[in-house]
Structure 1
C-alpha cells in the first residue's frame, strides 16, 4: 500500500496536468463535436498511460461512447464514468487557487476519470496482479439522462462482478455513496378553452387554473418520511393577459428511494383527473433512473473500501444522496455497486466547482487499493 500511495503522491503534478488537459477539453452534453474532441483527448490519455485502444460506440446526436479494457479473463470489474458536463463552452475557466483547482466538470466528473485512470496506471507500473479484466466505460450523455448509453452500461454490468463509480465523493465528509434516489421526469399538458377575458370570461375554461390546482396536488404527494419528493420546476401557460388561457404545461421532477414507491407515484401521475370542468389532461414521462437501493452486497463492498481507507488513514463513511448517477442502472440489476469514489471537492453544477489538489493522489490510492483487494 505504501508503494501505491508513494507512487501517486510523487505523480501529483502529473495527475493534475492530465486533469487540466481533460477539463480544458470542454464537453457540454449537447455539443457533439465538443464532446467528441474531449473523447479524443481521453483516448490519447489511455494510450499514453495504459497502452490501450478504445472501442468506440458512434452516436448520432450525442458524443461517442468509449470502452477501454485492460487484462484478460472471463470475469470483469466495471468502472463507469461520463465525460460530458453541464457547462456551455467558455462559461467557466480552468484555474488553480492554493489547494483548489477549478473548472467545468472538474468535480463532476473529470476528476474521477483521471483519479481512476492513474489508479490503474499505478497498479500496472507497480506490477499489481489483476486477476479480473478491468473495463473502463466512458459515456457522453449522463448529464442529460443517459438515454443513448444506458443499454451499453447495463450490458457491461451484467458481465461484471463489481461496479465502481468514481463520481464525486460527498463534499466535506468524503463519504462514499451506497444509495441514491431514483429519478423521474414527467410532462403535464392541459387543454382548456380560450375566450376574451373581458367580453366572454364566463365562456372560457382556464388551463392555467387547472394547472394551479394540479401543482398543489402534485406537491402534496411529497413525503419526506418516505424520501419521496415531487417538484414542478417548470410551469407555463397562456398567450395574452386578456385571453382566458386554453393551454398550460408543467415539467415534474420525481425522486424516490424504492421501486415500489416509484411505481406508486408513476401510477398516480399518469392517472391525474381534471379538477376544472371542461379541461383535459395528458401526462408523458416515466422513471428515468431506478433507485440505487442499499443492499447487503453493496454494504460488503463499502466495508471493503472502508478497510482500504483505514490502511491509508482515510476514515470513510457511507451516505444516501438524492441525485442519480449511472450507478443506479447497475445497482438495479443486482450488481454490487459502490459510488462516490471520485475526488474530494465541492460545487457540482455550480460556478465554484472544484477539487482539492492534495487529495487527488490519496483518493486515487484508495481506488487502486480497492481494485487490488477485489482481485482476491
Structure 2
C-alpha cells in the first residue's frame, strides 16, 4: 500500500514547479485558429514531458487552418496501454485577451487566466501525476505504455482527433482518461461518466419572390414557412428523454419590399442515448419536403430542406466507464474524499472514443467560469480560473486510481 501521507507531501513539494509550468502555458495564446500559438504550446508541452522519456509526434490536423495534434508516447516494458487526453487550444482570440486584460493573475487560492481551467490545468495535472507515479511506483511506471494525446482543435470538435486516439491507443487500452476540469463540492469531486451527443442541422427554405406591393399574391414567403418549420422542430424536444432541439440562428430575405424567396436556420439537437439520438435525427429529417406556405395566385409551394451538417456521437453510460468510476470511487474513500457521477451536456474528445475503449472524464483540477474572459466591478462577470486547493487532492486521487487500474488489469 502506497504511503498516502508521503504522496501528498511529495505532491505539495512539486506544486510550485507545476504552477510555473502552467503559467508558461497560459502565457502562450493558443486560440484554435492561432496556428502559430498552438504550435508553440505543442512544442513547449513536448519539451516538458521529454524528461520522462516521451517521444513526441506532431500530427497535422485535417483542417489546414489548425495546428498539429500532439501525441507523446513512452513505450513500456509490458503490454498494457493507458491514454491520457487533453487539448492545446482555447476559445480566446489574442485581441480578446488584451481587451479584457485576461492574463495570469493570482488572487488567493484562485489563479485566473486563459486556459487555466479549460484545459491547460488538466495538462499540467497529467505531468504532476506522472511525476508521482515515477517516484512512488517506478515498476508500474516502467511497465505501462503511456500515450498522451493533445487535440489541437478540440474547441471546434475536430473529428480526426478521435480517430487518431483510437489508432494510437488501440482497442485493448486499459483506459482513455480525459483531463477536462472537474467540479468540486467540499471533499466531493465530480467525475464525468457520460456526455450528450450533438447533431448540428441546417433548415433551408426556398419560396418564390414577388413584389411586396404589386404582386404579393404571387410570392411564397420563405420566412413564414421557416417560422412554421421552426415551431415543429422545437416541438420535438422531449425533456423526459433528455432530448433537446435548439434553433440558434435565423436568416432570410433581402429587402422589405420583396416577398422573401429564401430563409435558413441552424441549430443542434443533444441527448445522451444513441437510440434516442438516432430517432431524433430521423424525426427532424422527416420535416423536409413541400411546405404549407404557397403562392395565393397559383399554389406554388415553398420547399423545406433539412440536413445534418455535423455529428458528435453520444457517450452513454456503459460498463467500461462504470468500472473506471468504481476504481476511482474506492480510492477516494481511502483518501477521505468522495467522487460522484456527472453526466454532462457538453462534448469532449471522450465522445469519439467511448465506443472502443473505457473512458473517464473530469480528471483535471477544479475551477470555474470556463470560456469567460470578461470581468466587471460588481462581480457579475468573472474570468476563468483554477482553484489551487483542488490540485493536490485531485492529483493524489488520480495517481492512486491509475496505479490501481494498472495493477488490477
- Give the Cα separation in 2 of the matches to 1:101 and 1:243: 55
- Give the Cα separation in 1 of the matches to 2:166 and 2:234: 33
The equivalent residue for 1:302 is 325
CA pair 27-311 structure 1, distance change in 2 beyond 3 A:
same
1:181, 1:255 within 8 Å by CA — same for their partners in 2?
A: yes
| 1:350 partner SS | coil
The equivalent residue for 2:364 is 342
The equivalent residue for 2:27 is 24
1:26, 1:34 within 8 Å by CA — same for their partners in 2?
A: yes
1:197, 1:243 within 8 Å by CA — same for their partners in 2?
A: yes
| 1:80 partner SS | strand
The equivalent residue for 1:361 is 392
The equivalent residue for 1:256 is 271
| 2:124 partner SS | helix
TM, length-normalised to structure 1: 0.94
Alignment of 1:1-376 (within 5 A): 1-48=4-51, 50-59=52-61, 60-72=64-76, 73-91=78-96, 92-130=102-140, 131-155=143-167, 156-170=169-183, 172=185, 174-273=189-288, 274-277=291-294, 278-285=301-308, 288-333=311-356, 335-351=357-373, 352-376=383-407
CA pair 308-229 structure 1, distance change in 2 beyond 3 A:
same
CA positional deviation for 1:283: 2.3
CA pair 367-267 structure 1, distance change in 2 beyond 3 A:
same
- Give the Cα separation in 2 of the matches to 1:18 and 1:365: 19
CA positional deviation for 1:27: 0.9
- Give the Cα separation in 1 of the matches to 2:293 and 2:33: 39
- Give the Cα separation in 2 of the matches to 1:215 and 1:372: 51
Gapped runs of 5+ residues in structure 1?
none
- Give the Cα separation in 2 of the matches to 1:298 and 1:126: 26
- Give the Cα separation in 1 of the matches to 2:334 and 2:24: 31
| 1:331 partner SS | coil
- Give the Cα separation in 2 of the matches to 1:54 and 1:165: 19
CA positional deviation for 1:137: 0.6
CA positional deviation for 1:61: 2.7
Give CA deviations for 1:279-300 in whole Å, capped at 9, x if unaligned: 1122232562211111223222
- Give the Cα separation in 2 of the matches to 1:97 and 1:341: 23
1:29, 1:85 within 8 Å by CA — same for their partners in 2?
A: yes
CA positional deviation for 1:57: 0.7
- Give the Cα separation in 2 of the matches to 1:264 and 1:289: 15
- Give the Cα separation in 1 of the matches to 2:73 and 2:230: 48
- Give the Cα separation in 2 of the matches to 1:219 and 1:135: 43
Q: List 4+ stretches of structure 1 deviating above 6 A.
A: none
CA pair 146-171 structure 1, distance change in 2 beyond 3 A:
farther
Q: State the number of aligned residues.
A: 374
- Give the Cα separation in 2 of the matches to 1:30 and 1:281: 34
Give CA deviations for 1:305-338 in whole Å, capped at 9, x if unaligned: 01222222221111111111111122122x2211
CA pair 185-266 structure 1, distance change in 2 beyond 3 A:
same
| 1:47 partner SS | helix
